Structure 1
Amino acid sequence: MPVSTSESAYDRRRLRQWLAGEARADGVARRDMLRLLAAAGLASGGALPAFAAPAFAAPTNTTAPGIVKPLPDDRFTVRGTNAESKFASFAGTGYHTPADRFFVRNHTSTPVLDAADWRLTVHGAGLRGGPVDLTLRDLKRLPAVTRTAFVECAGNGRSFFTSQQGQPVSGTAWTLGAIGTASWRGVRLADVLRRAGLHRRAVDVLPRGLDPDYVTADGTNLGRVRRPLPLSKALDDVLLAYEMNGEPLPYDHGFPVRVVVPSWIGIASVKWVGDIEVADQPLYSPWNTDFYRLFGAAYPEGGSAPLSRQTVKSAWELDWDAALDARVAHRLTGRSWSGAGGVVRVEVSTDGGASWRRARLHDTPRRHGWVRWSTDWRPSAPGSYTLLARATDSAGRTQPDTTVPNTQGYLFDAVVRHPVRAV
C-alpha cells in the first residue's frame, strides 16, 4: 500500500479538522476539499464533481528550458522542463548517482541563487515565538548529518501504463530514469524546528521552494511548489541538505539548500527551499490535493489519501532494445529499490517470464537505498528476447505483473518488460 495505516488515519483527522473549520487549505478550491472529504468518507449526500486530469506539456527531445547543467544524449532524455536519466548510463558508476547523471524534475525552471543572499525563514503559528531567519552559515553551525537516500518522481515508470497495459494517463512519459541515489549532507529538519521554538500544538510543516510560480495550462497560478509534511515525519528522518555526494548542491538539484524526505515521493523533497511554515492546523496545497493522489475507477471519487512512500521497482542497466551478441556470455546488471524497506531478493527472467532465477545482489539491503544486482546470460540464438526483473523488499512487497491504473500515472510498480535483440 502506498500509504501506511497511521498516515491514512492522520489524513482523515486533518479532513475532519478542515470540516470543523480548524484547518487551512492554501490555494485549494472548496470543490477539491469536498472531493477529499468524500474520499475519506466524511462528506454526506450529493453528487461530487468528476475529476478532471490536469493538462501537461507534451514531451520534447529537443530543448530543456530552465535546466542549467549539460544534458548529453548518452545520459539524458529531455522531456519538456525535465530530464530523465538513461538507466544504462548508471552501469559502472557505483552506488551513488553522479550529479552529471542525476535526473531533473522541474515544475518551472531552475533558479540560479546566490548562497550569500539566501535565507531560510521558519515561521507560523506552530512556533512559540515569531519568525526565525537562518543563513547557510547558521545551518552549518548545527550538527551535520550524512544520509544516503534515493529521490524518485512519483510518476517514474508512467509510460508503462500505456505501453505495457494499454491505459492512457496524463503527465510526463517517464520510463524508469526519474530516480537517483545520492549521499546527502545537511542538518536534521528536527534540529532547525526545535531551534526555531517548536510549539506543542504544531501539527504540519510546509516547505516552499524559491523556483518561479507554477502556472497551469489554463492559466491558473498555483504559486511556488509547496507540500505539507506531518510533524511526525518532519521530526523523524528529514534533512535540509546543502551537499550532494560530497559537493555543494548543483543548481538543478536545489542549491543552496533543499529538503530530502527519504523514501517518499520526490515532490516532498522540495528544492531551493526558502521558507518553512510550521502550522498549528492541518495544511493543504495543490500538491497534495489535485496532484499526487490516485484518481480513477479503482479509487474513491475524491481520490486516494495523499501519496507518501514510494513503491518497489527494478530496472536493467541496458538501453531499450539493446543489441547483444548471440551465443556469447554476458553479465547483465540492474538496480532495484523500494520505499518500504531494503530490497532482499531480485528474480530475473530472460525468456519473457517462462522461467525465473535469483540474481546476485551486490549491496546489503538498506532502508532508503537501492541494491545493485547482476545475472549471467548467453543468448542461444539470434532473435528478440524479453528481460524481466522482479524485486521483493523487507516488508514483503513483490512487484506485481500489472499495476492498478490511475489517471495521472503515479506509482507504477509492475515488472517491466525490457526488449533486447541477440545478433
Structure 2
Amino acid sequence: MEPDLTDEATYERVRGEQWSRLSRRGMLRATAGVGLGAAFAGTGSARAAVPVRGLAPGGPIVKPLPPELFITHGTNAETRWEALKGTGQHTPVDRFFVRNHTATPLIDARTWRLKLWGGGLRGAPDPDHPIEFSYEDLLGLRAETVTASIECTGNGRSFYTSQQGQQVSGTPWKLGAVGVARWRGVPLSTVLARAGLTRRAVDLLPRGLDPEYVDKGENLGRVRRPLPVAKALKDVLLAYEMNGEPLAPDHGHPVRLVVPSWVGIASIKWLGDIEVADRPLFSPWNTRFYRLFGPDHPAEGSSPLTRMNVKSAFELPWDAQLTGGRTHVLTGRSWSGNGRIRRVEVSVDGGATWRHARTIGPPRSRGWVRWEFPWRPKTPGSYELLARAVDETGAGQPATAPYNTLGYLFGAVVRHPVRIS
C-alpha cells in the first residue's frame, strides 16, 4: 500500500529514507543549476554587488505560463483558481503563482553560499568576512518539512477598485497570488545557532540574489526585509525543496526563506546573505512598502505588516458560464495567517442568505481548508456567489475592506460573478 504523503510525519519518514539512499554530493550534482547552466559568483563579500550571469531567457519568469493556468502581470503570474480544482492540499509547482520584483535569476548551487554577518553574531563578523554555509552544508543538517502557504500581501488588490470604487497602486491581483506547498529545509534557528547567534541580536535582514530593484528611477538595491529574531527562531525555514523536488528557479532555487503565516515579502527568494544585527533594521520593504498608508493611517504608515488575513475563493473561472437545470457542486478554499479555519459559509443570492459549506479534510494551521457546496439554480441569469470564513481566533471576512493606498490585505468577501444559461 502506498504511504499517505499528505501526513507530515509519514512524509518526513519517507523523504528521510529516500535521502539516506543518496549521497549529499550526488544530490548536489543532480540539482546544481537545475539544468540551466547559469551561475552567480560564489565568492566575494556580502557587501559586494552580485554579478548576475544568468536571468530567465525571454522574460522575467522561467517556467511556462499557459493562459489556462495563469494571468500574467508583467514580472508576475497569478494562478487561475479554476486551475486548482481537484489538485489537493498542495499547489502543483507548475501552477504556483510567481511574484518577482525584477526577474528570476539562474543560480548554480555548487558555487552558492549563504553568508551571515553582523553585530548580533559572536565576534561581530563584518560583511567582508562573513560566516558561510554552502548548499552541501545545509543538506548535511537535520531537515524539517512543513506545509505552509505563501501569499502576496497585495492578493485581492483589484477588488478595492472593482468592488469598493477605490484607487490603489500595485499589481492588480484577484485572489490568485497565493499557494500552499510542502517545504523541506533547515530551520533558520539551526543555522543561526551554528553561526554564533548572541543575546544581543534584535533583527535579521535577509537579502535575495535577484537583480536590484528600481522604483520610479531610484535604485533600491536587492530585495531585503527585516525579520525579528523572535520570529526567526520560532518557525522560519531555509527551504531547498518544494513538493518533493528541489526548488525551481522561479520559486527561489537554491534556497529561500519560508516564513509561515506572514506576508509573502518576508519569505525572501534566492537567499544570498543575512545581516544579524544588535539594533533594529530598516529597508524600503518595511518603510516605503508593506505598511498601510492612506487617510486613516499615520503619515509614516502603520507598523510593518506581518500576518496575513482571512480569505476565501471559488475554484471557478471569473464570469463562469454554468448550465441550468442541474446541481452544481461549487468548490473552493479558505485560509488565514491566524491559524485554522473554523467554518465557511456560502451565499448564492448575493449575500441575502448564507449556508454552511462542507469542509474536506481537517483544518490546517498553515495551509487552507477545501470545501464544497451543492447549488441548483432555479432560473437562468446572472448571479453573484459569495464565500466567507472565520478562523480559530474569531477573525472573519467583512463586507468591505479598510482602505489603504497600496491595496494591501484585502480581506472582504469577494463577489464572484457567474451566469446560468
Give the structure-2-normalised TM-score. Answer: 0.85
Q: 2:321 is paired with a residue of what secondary structure?
A: strand
CA distance in structure 2 between the partners assigned to 1:381 and 1:400 by the alignment: 29
Q: Which residue of 2 aligns with 1:387?
A: 385
CA distance in structure 1 between the partners assigned to 2:220 and 2:118 by the alignment: 20
Instruction: State the Cα deviation string for residues 304-331 of structure 1 (Å, max 9, x = none).
Output: 0000000100000000010111111011
CA distance in structure 2 between the partners assigned to 1:265 and 1:88 by the alignment: 24
Q: 2:142 is paired with a residue of what secondary structure?
A: coil
Q: Which residue of 2 aligns with 1:297?
A: 295
Give the 5 Å matches for 1:353-364: 353-364=351-362
109, 112, 115: which one pairs with 2:106?
Answer: 112
Give the structure-1-normalised TM-score. Answer: 0.84
The question of 1:81 aligning with 2:80 is answered: no
The question of 1:98 aligning with 2:97 is answered: no
Moved >4 Å (runs of 4+): none
398, 401, 416: which one pairs with 1:400?
Answer: 398
Q: Which residue of 2 aligns with 1:282?
A: 280
Structure 1 residue identity aligned to 2:105: P
User: Conserved in 2, the CA contact under 8 Å of 1:64 and 1:80?
Assistant: no
Q: Which residue of 2 aligns with 1:70?
A: 64
363, 375, 379: which one pairs with 1:377?
Answer: 375
Q: Which residue of 2 aligns with 1:137?
A: 136
User: Conserved in 2, the CA contact under 8 Å of 1:108 and 1:211?
Assistant: yes
CA distance in structure 1 between the partners assigned to 2:205 and 2:233 by the alignment: 13
Identity %: 66
108, 115, 122: which one pairs with 1:121?
Answer: 115
Q: Which residue of 2 aligns with 1:259?
A: 257
The question of 1:189 aligning with 2:182 is answered: no
Instruction: State the Cα deviation string for residues 235-270 of structure 1 (Å, max 9, x = none).
Output: 000000000000000000000000000010000000
Q: With a CA cutoff of 8 Å and minimum separation of 6, indicate the structure with the bigger relative contact order.
A: 1
CA distance in structure 2 between the partners assigned to 1:371 and 1:74 by the alignment: 24
Q: 1:137 is paired with a residue of what secondary structure?
A: helix
CA distance in structure 2 between the partners assigned to 1:243 and 1:64 by the alignment: 26
Shift of 1:65: 3.0
CA distance in structure 1 between the partners assigned to 2:226 and 2:59 by the alignment: 27
After the TM superposition, which of the residue ranges 98-107 and 64-73 deviates more from structure 2? 64-73
CA distance in structure 1 between the partners assigned to 2:183 and 2:213 by the alignment: 27
CA distance in structure 2 between the partners assigned to 1:310 and 1:78 by the alignment: 23
Instruction: State the Cα deviation string for residues 380-415 of structure 1 (Å, max 9, x = none).
Output: 111001100000000100100000110000000000
In structure 1, runs of 5+ residues without a counterpart are 1-25, 27-62
Instruction: State the Cα deviation string for residues 48-80 of structure 1 (Å, max 9, x = none).
Output: xxxxxxxxxxxxxxx983100000000000001
Q: Which residue of 1 aligns with 2:38?
A: none
CA distance in structure 2 between the partners assigned to 1:87 and 1:108 by the alignment: 25
Shift of 1:168: 0.3
Equivalent residues, number: 361
Shift of 1:366: 1.8
Structure 2 residue identity aligned to 1:172: T
In structure 2, runs of 5+ residues without a counterpart are 1-46, 48-56
CA distance in structure 2 between the partners assigned to 1:154 and 1:75 by the alignment: 21
CA distance in structure 2 between the partners assigned to 1:65 and 1:316 by the alignment: 30
User: Conserved in 2, the CA contact under 8 Å of 1:64 and 1:82?
Assistant: no
Q: 1:284 is paired with a residue of what secondary structure?
A: coil
Q: 1:151 is paired with a residue of what secondary structure?
A: strand
Q: 1:191 is paired with a residue of what secondary structure?
A: helix
Q: Which residue of 2 aligns with 1:420?
A: 418
CA distance in structure 2 between the partners assigned to 1:151 and 1:264 by the alignment: 8
CA distance in structure 2 between the partners assigned to 1:214 and 1:88 by the alignment: 32
Compute the RMSD of aligned alpha carbons: 1.2
CA distance in structure 2 between the partners assigned to 1:327 and 1:396 by the alignment: 38
C-alpha spacing 1:64/1:367, structure 2 compared with 1 (3 Å): farther
Give the 5 Å matches for 1:137-176: 137-176=136-175
CA distance in structure 2 between the partners assigned to 1:387 and 1:411 by the alignment: 21
C-alpha spacing 1:64/1:387, structure 2 compared with 1 (3 Å): farther
Instruction: State the Cα deviation string for residues 205-257 of structure 1 (Å, max 9, x = none).
Output: 1110000000112x111000000111000000000000000000000000000
Q: Which residue of 2 aligns with 1:60?
A: none
User: Conserved in 2, the CA contact under 8 Å of 1:65 and 1:80?
Assistant: no
Shift of 1:368: 1.3
Structure 1 residue identity aligned to 2:62: V
CA distance in structure 2 between the partners assigned to 1:284 and 1:87 by the alignment: 35
User: Conserved in 2, the CA contact under 8 Å of 1:335 and 1:372?
Assistant: yes
CA distance in structure 1 between the partners assigned to 2:364 and 2:319 by the alignment: 31
Shift of 1:104: 0.3
Instruction: State the Cα deviation string for residues 84-136 of structure 1 (Å, max 9, x = none).
Output: 00011000011000000000000000001111111000111110033211001
Shift of 1:142: 1.0
